[in-house]
Structure 1
Amino acid sequence: MRMLTRRTRLRAALAAVAAAAAVLVVGPGYHQAEVRMHSSAVWLASGQTGEVTLVDGAAAEVMTHVPVAAPGTALTVTQRGGSAVVLDRKTGRLSGVDGATERVTPTQAVLPASEGLVVLPSEDALWVVDVHSGMTTAVDPATLAPRGEPLRLAESIRPGNVAVDDRGRVWAIDDTTGELVWLSEDRRRTRTATKTGRLTTTGGRVALVDPARGTAELLDPMTGAVTRSVRLGTPADDTVVIGGSADGDRLLVAMGSRGELVSCTFGEGCAAPVKVGAAGADLGSPIAIGDHAVVPDRSTGQATIVDLSRTRVVARRQLFDQPVRFELIARGDVVFFNDPDGNTAGVLDLRGDVRTVTKHTGDSADGEVRPSPDQHGQAGQVTEVDHHEDEGRLGLPGRNDRATPQTPGPPPPASILVSPRPHGVVGDEFELTLVLPHATARSTSWSFGDGSPAGSGTTIRHRWQRPGTFPVRATAAFENGRTAQSEITVTITGPGAPPGIAGITVQRPRPVIGEPVHFSADTTEQPDSWRWTATRIGAVTAETTASTAEFDHRFTTPGRYTVTLTITKGTRTSQSSRQFAVALGAVKGWGDMNNDALQIPPEASSGVIAIEAGHNHVVALKSDGSVIAWSSQLYDEITVPAEASSGVVAISVGSSNNLALKVDGTIVEWGDPPWSELKVIPEEAKRGVVAISAGSSHNLVLKADGSVITWGHGSDPVPREAQSGVIAISAGHQLSMALKADGTVVTWGTRPCNWQPVHDAVTIAAGEWTCLAVLQNGSVVATSALGSPFVRPNPMPATAQSGVVAVSTYWDTYLGLKADGSAFGWGGNTDGQATIPPECSRGVLAVTSGQNFSLAVLDGLS
């Protein structure tokens, strides 16, 4: 009933829309245009199901979807008020969807079927153009009937090189003759231009950009003459795409070959270029929203937000987890993103907050749409990172550890971006960039693995002169003396070599049963066919097969598997295999066996990917994104709210308060803490969160911009050092810790730690009276908090001096997890909680400590 009420309100709002404010739409499902509407809802193309989907931008929810064509049909959607006009590019027919009634109007044939059809809305008509044939026709926006016979606009038109001005004139550049052509009062007019020109509209007028000459010109609507011009600074090549502002004379020029955006204003000139992607990126048309721009990168699935007034990048967000020709639709200061041929869409605001929605999740019996979170994860991260996973990480770590690829947690300290891709042919030129989120290096040095001299600089170019597989290493040096290092492999083949498989990626390398596992490969050229098999070692038949470049699978049986990929290019074939393990994810406990927290329920015997212990209760995250909890029934904190039953990607537990991080960047808080302040979540902590940590009386969250927010009983203000550049957080007892991108640690609170300066920390953990950190060399360092009953943490064992990947602490008990899957403990051991049982000497995925008890998640393979 709640969904029905919301839809009824939405229909009423849409029905009231008659004329409106500008909406700039760009992409495959929309053609760039200026459309008038007031509603915060937008109709999106859903070609996969042959439907149009109505998404509410305020709530980031699917309100309804309406069938308009056969599944798999390429659709173009144009918004008019609260209704949609849909072009079926397979048949060349138009249909309308009434926003108030959801009624589909009869289809109208306007032009012959063509993959080159686009729709351009104007104030009193719709123009349908076939860029392949150069034909166009005007359509009545109410009846969708053609107004007269089709007219020839040009011999042929480059896709995207056609526009309509605010007086309803349609303009194009004839790709055959290079002429500028336009229709005025049903007359075709022309003037000399160039085939390299690009058209867009800005402030309702048509602008012509010539990348070859490096110029942009504002055109007279009657004569096509140049009224104002501006120089771009330097000539550009054929990868240029342009966009304009709806209410001004600003031009946005995106140059894919350089991965740069240039903003120009007629009369003021052009600003300095802003880096928005790698050189050779497949950039889509940029959109202007006030003094900001958003640039889609279809080669990475990212969008970059640029502050035009300051000429700098605000945020870069991963909207899709693979290359997608997605569309952006601007609405006020909110941008809708949509894969018109897939199931993912969402909302991006200018601060960089992302809310992802799944367009099609099945209809319930009452016909209402039940939105559910996109299990690929919300995309609120700076994402210019290398996606090769660290084989040493074993599943999701225990409390207070760095995030893994399955969570929207902080990015790694350093990564290498290779453009156009990490493989090629002898003599190809590659651009290599060291990416350092939230940090700036004093210098960067490079080695290329081929014996050539070392290079320097954040971005560098290199050519390999012989075939082979070469390790590329970048080392960044910071002012504080710390260094950060990243390595990637580049594969070079000789001319005419058979297609090669540079590597197979399994995300995550150590999954748990029920968890979606993503398989992909890096090949030296685009194959004609793909053939995947994943087989459990010892089994006769394959667990799963696939014939696409990438695929996902959820394994139901733990074990060791082999994934094999065979690719074919013409008559040439290559094959490569990789082994990986699928863990059981079973919880094991030890210590005070009288504690109800060690009465582990059957649901925790498999499929657990993370675990956290509080004072007398336990919270676990399952591979399907649900949360379970257990303890004595005397404790209210074990009652998991409905919001945490799906879509959860991280958990954190305090003494009697709990936090869950959802895939959309929102948080869920529950429990029975004695401090009422914990129950009031600040507004700024309600979205855009990438990491969480619950303390004994206060909470911390980390935002995508690297800032920290705290609330709760006696929570001290966040110091200036932790207001930016933070990549991990941990809350203890009246103390807080933050890990910075440069490896330094900040502590604060009523009982802060007397922290010894460190410059290479990679993981932190705050306890009741202790601060711990794991350093880059795998060793653990620790110190006591102010007023601690311990002079210093108990002496650490020798095993804590190397190979450690995670730590956990409660009171005076400490647990560690090593890269080889073994657990170790030290400190308080009154009930044997620090004595590791034999089952936990190997195959451990996560550890956590509570009040006189300890827990681990086991892979079940040892």
Structure 2
Amino acid sequence: MKPTHARVALATAAVLAGAALVVGPGYETSQARMYSGAVWLASGGVGQATLVDGASAEVKAQVVVGEPSTALHVTQQGGAALVLNEATGALRRVDSATEQASAPVSVLPASDSLVVLPSPDAPRVADVHSGMIASVDPVTLARTGEPEHLAGRLRPNSGVVDGDGRVWAIDDTTGDVVWLNEGKRRVRAAATKNGRLVVTRGLPALVDPEHGTAQLLHPETGGVSRSLRLDLSPDDEVVVSGSAGQAGVLIAVPSRGVLIACSFDAGSCAAPVRVAAAGAEIGTPVEASDHAVVPDHSTGQATIVDLGKSRVVAQRRLFEQPGPYELIARDGIVFFNDPESSKAGVLDLWGGVRTITKYVEDPVTPELPSVPDEPRRSEQVKTGRQKPDAGLGLPGHTGESDRTPQGLTASILVKPGNRGVVGDEFELTMVLQPPVSATTRWSFDEGADTSGTSVRQTWANPGTFAVRATATLGSGKQAVAETTVIVDPPDAPPAITAIDVKRPKPVIGESVRFSANTTRDPDRWEWTVTRPGRQMPEITARTAEFGHAFTTAGHYVVTLTITKGSRTAQSSRQFTVGRGAVKAWGGENFYHELDVPAEASSGVIAVEAGQQHALALKADGRVIAWGDNEHGQLNVPPQALSGVIAISSRQHHSLALKADGSVVAWGENAWKETEVPEEAQRDVIAIAAGANHSMALRSDGSVVAWGSDHEGQVAVPEAALTGVIAITAGHHTSVAWKVDGSIVVWGSELPWSPVPLPGQIPGLRSIAVGYNVGLALRPDGSLFSWGYVKSHVYRLPDEVKSGVVAVDFAHEHAVAMKTDGTLFVWGLVGEDVFMVPSAYNRGVLSFSAGSMFTLVLLEEID
């Protein structure tokens, strides 16, 4: 996948709305060879611009525009392609009629921050760092006039050209809107720290989360023509594009994983639509035929949203490996493209995918076959050539999907990464989630195959190679995963294929590990972590990996520069550090369970509510407790003051799981629920506390239980001694579920209930059990309840019958998190418990339901 280069891109019109802005009034008429619904795509691996026809999903032309392994940025200008060489800053034009590339032209001094802005009269080249703008002839690319100074520095992703050819941007120093009108620089005071500019129907629009507005601007005066209120936090970073069909904007909010569509014509914004996980790396949405398509670079997935109905139509993973990719809309067709590999394709608005191989290693090959969406068996890989991609390369996505066990996913882990040079040794490991015993067979090029969970492989020739792994379980069922490995020539420049931040959304005080997948075994590593708007870096490092604990919540950018000999590569990634603050509400606070101590106001990574006490796990592995101490619930033992990775509490006792796989227990011990048996002193991977019993799941898939067995909750059945992947505990009930979705329940309170739990829920995500009701979260986001039918929790409200991502259940009330990141509470509780305070209902990291109160852990980004 394409790394995020040091070049800081502006949100150009072509990227924001695909062809919508290049077919408007005044734009160059397409040439005869520019097919309707065709687009030029970058193929940096072979230094080409590739013309792809969207109707047939075929390659129509391949034009060499640079050296192989060159970072290219392609912009549509009418029927032509403008290709920017990101290394040299040179610009070339590829004519669609002749399929010829012009000679390279240097418009502005070479810089890693040059971008091309398509325009109705003439393209502009902008330097983000210097704030200079140059206009060029749309055919010859010769500069017309002298460069103009727009600002000291332009805000990344904010530069656009309106329908009359005016260049607009945000001054990154002042936050003011600046534009050029008839050769004069104009300024409108905005002072927005995170605003974004887009063009919609030829008019500029400013989306300003800090002030909670979206404003349609007058093209000459910069005044506000129309304004909309936005439900955004002042600190929300947004990714914005302009609507083509109407005056409106599409706003993606990565911290919440939602898309908000706003219409200036209608004077309102639609309800947020969940398009990704909170904190995902969402790219710029594109619009086509009353639909929006939103890229998720952290998963390689795209989400299609019906804007008229404000609902998700489909989600499709386009790339197996996470990383930036392009979405381009033209003539109602949506194209996806990885500029640095051969993979591209067409995404239909109902979710169909047609994958296209843009090139093989030989650059003179004129046309390549497209691959239909229907998955099929892999062909053999020929040395130095790329096999047509069979399907999307999704884990377990094969022609034998009906044989793959439900709930089991398969993927291939490649170390040191999916890209290297000739002669490098790659270690490939089949990863099954959840882990199960299986025999794995590997298929490589030239018919070679081998077996083993992990294998090593080298390639003698450069190329892009497909790898297929087939895992056969003891039942005879199979799971298949595919991946690709890119092998560069020995003299290829170094490349950064991925930057890894563990975790992507850490909190204050948590040690964050930074590492990267690179090629060519770099001679030198240079890391810099910065906060936007601040000159001094947070930290620098010169090792391949490093760790750092942040002391301030906020948005950060990590940049890596690697050097091999005289050649370098650079990549950046954004991430956030949350405050990790605990809040509580509900109940009468008789036991002070709502009085969250100051040490839980930051640096917390998990919360757990008991009956009348609460727990928080700090980033340094320390457990803190508050509330009732009648049974010693607050007497946290020394073993739980460091090295803890998980906590659990149900009634009057608590459990902590340490990094060494041992369990610590304290609190009430009337039934020996805190006397941890020998089997739970090692190799434990999960814990669950019941009312007066405890459970532990060992790494071998077996369950251990201790404490009260008055209701049979400690008598682990044989079915729960192997193959268990998760556990939970009710008051007097124990629950375990297995890889195939089968559920094992023992104890007394739920099995006798009028509505039983199904024996199997394929793809089961989680279970929460209360006093006499259980809640199961299905893979489609719906809840299933079983148990006592007269319970107020059993009767599911409409709000939790779909779109749920997490659920917890206490004695009398349940809490569910919805796809939009909000919480919903129901059950037999008072209004003070039902009403989630608005300040606690955004940026939620986790939550826990107690007895008549609820805990929530908030990100709270500065």
TM-score, normalised via structure 1 length = 0.47
